[in-house]
Structure 1
Amino acid sequence: MKKPLHLKSGKFKRKQLIILIVCIATGFMIGYSFKLTQNQQKATDPYWNQEDSYREELIEQQERNKELAEEYYSLQNKMREYEKTFAENEEEYEHLIEEAERLRLVLGYLPAQGEGIRVTLKDNEYNPNSTNPNDYIVHEFHVLSVINELKISGAEAISINGHRLKSNSYIRCNGPVITVDGKQYPAPFVIEAVGNSETLVSSLKITGGVFDQLLNDRIVVTLEERNLINMPTINDEIVS
């Protein structure tokens, strides 16, 4: 008696399923074995590890090169902006140069030369009837009042008895002499200033100003306008 056909078909499908499962399992085992072998080779083969190290370094270097390229382009853009700003503000730049030169002159780093004035302060003759002889002597505040007025009036450079003043110069009275930056100078005290002579004289002789105060203190004062006054730099003063 013949078996039914559908039973043979069912057996055939089971065989195919079993073969498929065996193939999948075999492929998995082969893949796992290859992966395991590869890992073991990496662990034991120094050349393989070195290759990985080089690959990682290459990737890092490529990233660094990318960062440097971006930074380079950014700096180029900034440079173009600076150049554009410089071209637009060329006139302002020239003004800043002139202002820097003026400040160097005022600070004493450049020699001063030009018109100006000379102010001479002398002790007055002592009056025996006076109870205080200091009333006839030039003191530091007399010198300072002249210097401050000259600075306010735009003097470019000032000197006392040939000693050019710095921005931080100090003046101290010591009996019949004054000490300027550690150097002593006796009377008469000759103060020279480079600047517009007419402006400087007018500022000193303004009514109730420095000139009148000096006369009231019995100080002998003379004012001279000079066509040319030469002053060294403060560096020359230090060397000398």
Structure 2
Amino acid sequence: MKIRMKVNGKHVVLSFVCLVLGFIISYSYQLTQEEDNKGTDRQWERDFAIRDSLLKTEERNLQLQKELLDKQEELRKIEESLATGEQLLFNLVEDAENLRMYNGNVKVEGKGVEITLSDASYVPSEENVNNYIVHEGHVFKVMNELFISGAAAVSINGQRITKNSYIICNGPVITIDGNQYPAPFVISAIGDPKVLIPALNILGGVKDQLVADNITIKMMEKDRIVIDPVIQ
């Protein structure tokens, strides 16, 4: 017994429509997947580019920081060199000023001491008068002790004493750098009186030696002493 199926035209059309619809859905799904994959790839590429840029930026920052530290170190060395140069220049200027002061080329003023050496007020008739007057040796003792104790400048009867000065005794007068001065001899020294006077008063020191030689010595602190430069 044979069964015959009758194909209706509507069935054919419906089948064709379903086939096309299925193809469209399949293609659309595949296209959507490809777009999603492409989107994911693009996002990954963007993320990778951002991370790569951040890494390069961090590396550049580290490089710049190192360069900055190097420049700061160079600047520190330059400043240190300049400071050393300034200190050296200051020392040279100070040394030059001290040299001019010791050579007697500049006026000096400040606190200090004034020492007066006088001949003995009484000379026994049977004694030699030369044993009772001030000689250059007495002046030298006072002057040297003052310089040793830190006096910045010394004058005798207003005559500035320098490294080239000479003192000669001519009887009752003393010649200093060609200028004659009679007693009493006033020795002025600029320096700390709290140092200079004790140095002269030390037991067995300059003062005791002068007294033993019948010399009258007076010492006085001065708040201000002015010693003029040497007249050329």
Please confirm whether the aligned pair reaches a TM-score higher than 0.5, indicating the same fold.
Answer: yes
Tell me the residue number matched to 2:99.
103
Question: What fraction of aligned residue pairs are identical, expressed as a percent?
Answer: 49
Say if 1:126 and 1:133, in contact at 8 Å, map to a contact too.
Answer: no
Q: What RMSD in Å do the two structures reach over aligned CA positions? A: 2.0
**CA distance change for structure 1 residues 88 and 139 in 2, over 3 Å: closer, same or farther?**
closer
TM-score (normalised: structure 1) = 0.61
Matches of residues 1-240 of structure 1 in structure 2 within 5 Å? 87-234=83-230, 237-238=231-232
Letter in 1 for 2:111: E
Greater gyration radius:
2
SS in 1 for 2:208: helix
Say if 1:117 and 1:225, in contact at 8 Å, map to a contact too.
Answer: yes
- Give how far 1:148 is off: 0.6
Task: Extract unaligned runs of 5+ from structure 1.
Answer: 1-82
Say if 1:159 and 1:192, in contact at 8 Å, map to a contact too.
Answer: yes
SS in 1 for 2:204: coil
CA distance in 1, matches of 2:221, 2:161: 20
Return structure 1 stretches of 4+ with deviation > 3 angstroms: 83-89
- Give how far 1:125 is off: 2.3
**CA distance change for structure 1 residues 157 and 88 in 2, over 3 Å: closer, same or farther?**
closer
SS in 1 for 2:169: strand
CA distance in 2, matches of 1:228, 1:87: 35
Tell me the residue number matched to 1:65.
none
- Give how far 1:132 is off: 1.4
